[in-house]
Amino acid sequence: MWFPRHHSKRIGSIEEKGHSAYVLYKFVLIKPFDRISYILIFVNPFTVSFPDFFCLFLFFRYLYKNEIHALDKQTFKGLRSLEQLYIHFNQIETLQPETFGDLVKLERLFLHHNKLSKIPPGSFSHLDSLKRLRLDSNALVCDCDLMWLGELMRGYARNGQTQAAATCQYPRRLQGRSIASVTVEEFNCESPRITFEPQDVEVTSGDTVYFTCRAEGNPKPKIIWIHNNHSLDLEDDSRLNLFDDGTLMIRNTRESDQGAYQCMARNSAGEVKTQNAMLRYSSPPAKPSFIIQPQDTEVLIGTSTTLECTATGQPHPHITWTRGSGEALDGSRHLVTSGGLYLQNVTLRDHGRFTCHAENNQGSVQATANIIVQAPPQFTIIPKDQMVLEGHSVEFLCEAEGNPPPIIAWTKAGAQLLQEGPHTVLSSGTLRIDHAAHHDEGQYECQAVSPLGVKKASVQLTVKPKALPVFTQLPQDTSVQVGKNINISCHAQGEPQPMITWNKAGVQITESGKFHVSGEGVLTIYDAGQADQGRYECVARNAFGLVVANMFLTVVAIQGRQAGDDFVESSILDAVQRVDSAINSTRRHLFSQKPHTPGDLLALFRYPHDPFTVKTARAGEIFEHTLLLIQEHVKQGLTVDTEGREFRYNDLVSPHALSRIANVSGCTAHRQVPDCSDLCFHRKYRAADGTCNNLRHPAWGASLTAFERILKPAYENGFNLPRGAGARPLPPARLVSTELAATATVTPDGRYTHMLMQWGQFLDHDLAHTVPALSTARFSDGRPCGAACTDDPPCFPIALPDGDPRRAQAPCMFFARSSPVCGSGLTSLLASSVYAREQMNQLTAYIDASSVYGSSEREARALRDRAAPLGLLRAGRAWARSGKPLLPLAAGPPTECGRPPGARRGPCFLAGDHRANEQVALTAVHTLWFREHNRVATALSALNPHWDGDTLYHEARKIVGAELQHITYSHWLPKILGEPGMKMLGGYRGYDPNVNAGILNSFATAAFRFGHTLISPVLHRLNDTFGEIPQGHLPLHKAFFAPSRIIEEGGIDPLLRGLFGAAAKLRVPSQLLSLELTEKLFSTARSVALDLAATNIQRGRDHGLPPYADFRVFCNLSSVQSFEDLQNEIKDVGIRQKLKNRKMTPGEASL
């Protein structure tokens, strides 16, 4: 059969050395021969012509004894049916592994007598039908590369299906041997051995990296690279190169190249792998940058959302979140996930800004997004039904929250209330109705409206007609016998029901052992004395006004001797002896040795230094102690009718005996009437002791006069026993301190510096200094108050409650009472009556810089520099650096100064107020003002060379006093009282001689001690660049009585800079007094330190201050029954709760 030429395709040639080769054609057959897919036809163009001479052999092919030199891999392609192939006796030198690949039916393959020296492994692997294979008489080299053929032959022999023959030609030692008989050793194979292992490398992006691997073996091993357990396909990735020596080169590295690299060396004798070499990828350090930034998100309340935030950078950035202006997240509901911030169960509090911070060691970036919480309106304050008195104003509070914020609208009987007439809807949502009238009664509705919904709340307003108080029973003039009790009735009606209070000589009477005002308004006076005689006013007050009714009480003296008269002389002697002995031993203890206890320091701090003050105080103590002794004698004899009340003084002794006690005790030697005759002087300058300032009332505001009262004192026995010290105990002062006052944390004041505090203390020390008891030991037996722990005059120790850690050291804290003013009280001695106990101020009441100049002529003289007539104050040594003088040192025995503990006891600084050394910042301010006097005096002297020393002194003093007043009224008070307070105070309206400038007891003992809440626990000491000085800032407890810290640690400048450079403590209701003051006040090594908060409360009780609730009545504020009534004043619920937990009533709360 002929095949048209165009059906043929030349597919290769069998080449003959030296001349043109046989040409190999492939023909595509057509039917009916399609059983055979391909035929191979070898044509020798020299001997046969194609296609004319062509013969088809479908199953056998005889090609032996040709001149065939080579067979390429296509030669027998497709001859799947070929069964016999005879190509022996040719010149074939090489075979390709694929040459026989298609001959799946081949049974005979004769290749003998050729020139084959090598046969590639696998050359016969597909010849599954093979029965005869001849390879003998070739040039086969039996080296390791042919070992596979030996194994194949042996395999053929084993299964017996295939006869095969192959003999070695080389090496010589194996010539003629059947390959099947050659052993592994004879083939001389060597399995691969690694001679160089690849090493770990660290690269950055884009680097070229080399992994070297060398291996030896026979035959030479092939190197294969494995990356993360997969062979590397070098063809696939042009970045990869394998060098002949086995080195792998990776160009332009990227992150995916990271991982383990292993080199495998393989030859026919085996394979071996190296250890893993790691390629670590490190991209160059890069600042974080955001991939996804959080976006503003609106979210409905109660649902959840995620603010997405992802960032990249090298190293990988750490993501954190904050909210608002840096506050922490709510850990329970805000979860930081890898993709962002998950906000669970969103509340209105989540509304606001959230910031995603991405940070690594190269830097940080922030992105902020807003969470916009959508919330339907919810009431936060629901209005309550109200009753209002006609003409009065009423407010219905109504507040709601939501987002968008709801608008509050009010309706009455369905109609919207207009912003006119008496109705006002305040911006807070409160409905205010001014001058309520009858027609305002009815139902009102508060509506909170937002696009997300409406909430409504209804309330009822009742308007009660007004009624001024009207007396239904007027008090009548009456008389009472000395020592008896009397009831005076007074009733009134009105709407609302009026409240009855009583005044005596303009001073409101408060509940005490002396007076009681019943709910119906009946005034009871116990143990009437001459001092109780006089005009009384019954005041009936309700919201519409007040009415007043007067009556006169006459106290009828008892004629004849009284039960106590018999004991007067002996008791006086006894009292003098006991008081003097206690005073002397106290003085010895305090002044002749180093103070041992904080109590000693407190006593020294308050101790009067002026001998006249000491005399006056001694007289008061003797007077009162005499009465006490007499009373004890009488009680023992049971000759007095006490009507169930423990103390009675007015019928204890006769008026004559009372005068005698006053004389002997020294009370009558008390201050003479001031002599103001030198009008020239008094009209120009102030007296040192404040007398004659008010020429109509020369003693008003003078030093050593009793404090003033706006409410009658409240003593348990009406005379001198502190409230709570008798049968009706009050909450222990120390407990009130630890539970309500003491704070470990303080908040710095964002607006004012610590100078705010310091000016307050300095000012206080110009105004008030109570004369203390002269003895710190019991009069009865001389035992120190701090050790005896009993309420035995003059001791009034502060009990330490159970569980107080200080109880381990002592059962009480030191406290001695303030000294009493002579019991019959000032000029009223003439009335031969005993008065309730009063306390005395050692200072002038005026803001006259008495803290700089002293409060008595004697003190003033001691402070003046008399050496030259320049009107100067005495100066101490100059501070080395500035050359400016420090305060002079106090003469006399060293007292409380010489701290800190362990330091040598040294003198205190001397200033106008003895307490100047109490803490070093105060000392610094004293120093500043004494320098100011000398500066002004020197300037005046330059201007007025003709002035003498006295004139210069007084003129300079006048200016310094004015400076203090100016600073106080123009700069300090506005910061303390705020605008409303200053408005109430009003402007200066000129000198009014009817105003008593004397300091109120309640001011010195309570109100002005508010300043203790401004005290920061640390005194900052700053250098001239406002950094900390080398000796550091001072915790307060190291600053008490420590003048050495000024002398040795930088003078006053660091302290002054600290005062105007560091914040004051903020007044926070839950943070009143720092622990430095409640736990470490005047602390010394082994003793119980004092507690200023407890001391303040105890002092108030010592001074007979009525409770806070009584002052409210005086100030026309609502009277309160429970602490809930004080919601507006005590806004902190926690504090109200604490008070309730203690089962305290407002009546027990101190001022």
Compute CA 450 distance to the chain's CA centroid, rounded to the nearest angstrom.
36
CB of 1103 to ligand HEM, least distance (A): 9
For position 1015 contacting ligand HEM by CB under 6 A, the verdict is yes
| Spatial contact of 809 and 597, defined as CB atoms under 8 Å apart | no
**What's the CA gap between 796 and 75, in Å, rounded?**
128
**What's the CA gap between 1074 and 1036, in Å, rounded?**
10
989 contacts: CB under 8 Å, gap ≥ 6: none
- Judging by DSSP bridges, how do beta strands 240-242 and 248-250 pair with one another? antiparallel
Q: What is the DSSP letter of 946?
A: T
CB-side neighbour CA atoms (13 Å) of 1073: 28
Return the residue of 99, 267, 705, 770 that touches ligand HEM, per CB under 6 A: 770
Return the residue of 323, 899, 1012, 1065 that touches ligand HEM, per CB under 6 A: 1012
**What's the CA gap between 550 and 476, in Å, rounded?**
8
**What's the CA gap between 826 and 671, in Å, rounded?**
9
For position 43 contacting ligand HEM by CB under 6 A, the verdict is no
For position 607 contacting ligand HEM by CB under 6 A, the verdict is no
Phi first, then psi: what are they for 714, rounded to 5°? Answer: -115, 95
- How crowded is residue 111: how many other Cβ atoms within 10 Å of its Cβ? 27
CB of 1094 to ligand HEM, least distance (A): 10
Between 437 and 985, name the residue whose CB sits nearer to ligand HEM: 985
Identity of residue 782: G
CB of 708 to ligand HEM, least distance (A): 13
Between 14 and 1092, name the residue whose CB sits nearer to ligand HEM: 1092
For position 1095 contacting ligand HEM by CB under 6 A, the verdict is yes
Return the residue of 106, 551, 768, 1073 that touches ligand HEM, per CB under 6 A: 768
Return the residue of 277, 757, 829, 936 that touches ligand HEM, per CB under 6 A: 757
CB of 764 to ligand HEM, least distance (A): 4
For position 816 contacting ligand HEM by CB under 6 A, the verdict is no
CB of 306 to ligand HEM, least distance (A): 52
- Judging by DSSP bridges, how do beta strands 545-556 and 478-481 pair with one another? parallel
Which of these ranges, 208-216, 329-337, 761-769, 1061-1069, lies near ligand HEM under the rule CB under 6 A? 761-769
| Spatial contact of 770 and 605, defined as CB atoms under 8 Å apart | no
For position 814 contacting ligand HEM by CB under 6 A, the verdict is no
Return the residue of 429, 794, 888, 1011 that touches ligand HEM, per CB under 6 A: 1011
For position 1004 contacting ligand HEM by CB under 6 A, the verdict is yes
Compute CA 1105 distance to the chain's CA centroid, rounded to the nearest angstrom.
37
Q: Of all residues in this chain, which one has the CB nearest to ligand HEM in the complex?
A: 1011
**What's the CA gap between 910 and 889, in Å, rounded?**
5
* No. of helices (H) and no. of strands (E), the chain: 22, 57
Helix (H) or strand (E) holding 1047: helix 1044-1047
Phi first, then psi: what are they for 780, rounded to 5°? Answer: -65, -40
Between 723 and 1009, name the residue whose CB sits nearer to ligand HEM: 1009
Helix (H) or strand (E) holding 300: strand 297-300
**What's the CA gap between 1051 and 885, in Å, rounded?**
10
Q: Which residue's structure tokens are 């041992």?
A: 596
76 contacts: CB under 8 Å, gap ≥ 6: 40, 82, 85, 99, 100, 102, 103
Residues between 292 and 351 with contacts to ligand HEM, criterion CB under 6 A: none
CB of 613 to ligand HEM, least distance (A): 13
Residues between 909 and 948 with contacts to ligand HEM, criterion CB under 6 A: 918-919
**What's the CA gap between 19 and 1127, in Å, rounded?**
124
For position 761 contacting ligand HEM by CB under 6 A, the verdict is yes
Copy the structure tokens of residue 1099: 């002092």
Which of these ranges, 32-40, 682-690, 873-881, 1005-1013, lies near ligand HEM under the rule CB under 6 A? 1005-1013
171 contacts: CB under 8 Å, gap ≥ 6: 141, 142, 143
**What's the CA gap between 25 and 38, in Å, rounded?**
10
Phi first, then psi: what are they for 371, rounded to 5°? Answer: -95, 120
For position 1045 contacting ligand HEM by CB under 6 A, the verdict is no
For position 1038 contacting ligand HEM by CB under 6 A, the verdict is no
Which of these ranges, 320-328, 619-627, 693-701, 1010-1018, lies near ligand HEM under the rule CB under 6 A? 1010-1018
**What's the CA gap between 678 and 699, in Å, rounded?**
15
CB of 769 to ligand HEM, least distance (A): 5
Q: Is 946 part of the annotated catalytic residue set?
A: no
962 contacts: CB under 8 Å, gap ≥ 6: none
CB of 731 to ligand HEM, least distance (A): 18
Which of these ranges, 197-205, 563-571, 763-771, 798-806, lies near ligand HEM under the rule CB under 6 A? 763-771
Between 249 and 1007, name the residue whose CB sits nearer to ligand HEM: 1007
Q: Under rule CB under 6 A, how many of the chain's residues touch ligand HEM?
A: 20
Residue ranges of the alpha helices (H) in 209-327?
none
CB of 567 to ligand HEM, least distance (A): 33
Between 321 and 815, name the residue whose CB sits nearer to ligand HEM: 815
**What's the CA gap between 355 and 368, in Å, rounded?**
4
For position 1008 contacting ligand HEM by CB under 6 A, the verdict is yes
Q: Which of 765, 769, 1020, 1103 is catalytic?
A: 765
Between 433 and 999, name the residue whose CB sits nearer to ligand HEM: 999
Of 461, 537, 465, nearest to 496 by C-alpha is 465
CB of 899 to ligand HEM, least distance (A): 13
Which of these ranges, 332-340, 383-391, 1004-1012, 1048-1056, lies near ligand HEM under the rule CB under 6 A? 1004-1012
CB of 743 to ligand HEM, least distance (A): 15
Which of these ranges, 530-538, 820-828, 1007-1015, 1121-1129, lies near ligand HEM under the rule CB under 6 A? 1007-1015
Q: What residues form DSSP beta bridges with 549?
A: 538
**What's the CA gap between 668 and 375, in Å, rounded?**
78
Which of these ranges, 219-227, 437-445, 764-772, 981-989, lies near ligand HEM under the rule CB under 6 A? 764-772
Phi first, then psi: what are they for 1079, rounded to 5°? Answer: -115, -20
Which of these ranges, 73-81, 419-427, 658-666, 755-763, lies near ligand HEM under the rule CB under 6 A? 755-763
CB of 396 to ligand HEM, least distance (A): 40
Residue 278 backbone zone (phi > 0: left; psi -120 to 50: alpha; other: beta): beta
**What's the CA gap between 1130 and 1137, in Å, rounded?**
10
**What's the CA gap between 897 and 601, in Å, rounded?**
9
Between 665 and 927, name the residue whose CB sits nearer to ligand HEM: 927
Return the residue of 1092, 1113, 1139, 1149 that touches ligand HEM, per CB under 6 A: 1092
Between 42 and 607, name the residue whose CB sits nearer to ligand HEM: 607
Return the residue of 1009, 1020, 1065, 1103 that touches ligand HEM, per CB under 6 A: 1009
For position 1148 contacting ligand HEM by CB under 6 A, the verdict is no
CB of 841 to ligand HEM, least distance (A): 7
For position 398 contacting ligand HEM by CB under 6 A, the verdict is no
Between 1099 and 1101, name the residue whose CB sits nearer to ligand HEM: 1099
Of 470, 510, 466, 505, nearest to 491 by C-alpha is 470
Return the residue of 313, 760, 825, 894 that touches ligand HEM, per CB under 6 A: 760
Which of these ranges, 493-501, 670-678, 730-738, 762-770, lies near ligand HEM under the rule CB under 6 A? 762-770
**What's the CA gap between 556 and 533, in Å, rounded?**
9
What residues make contact with ligand HEM under the rule CB under 6 A? 602, 757, 760-761, 764, 768-770, 918-919, 1004, 1008-1009, 1011-1012, 1014-1015, 1092, 1095, 1099
Residues labelled catalytic: 765
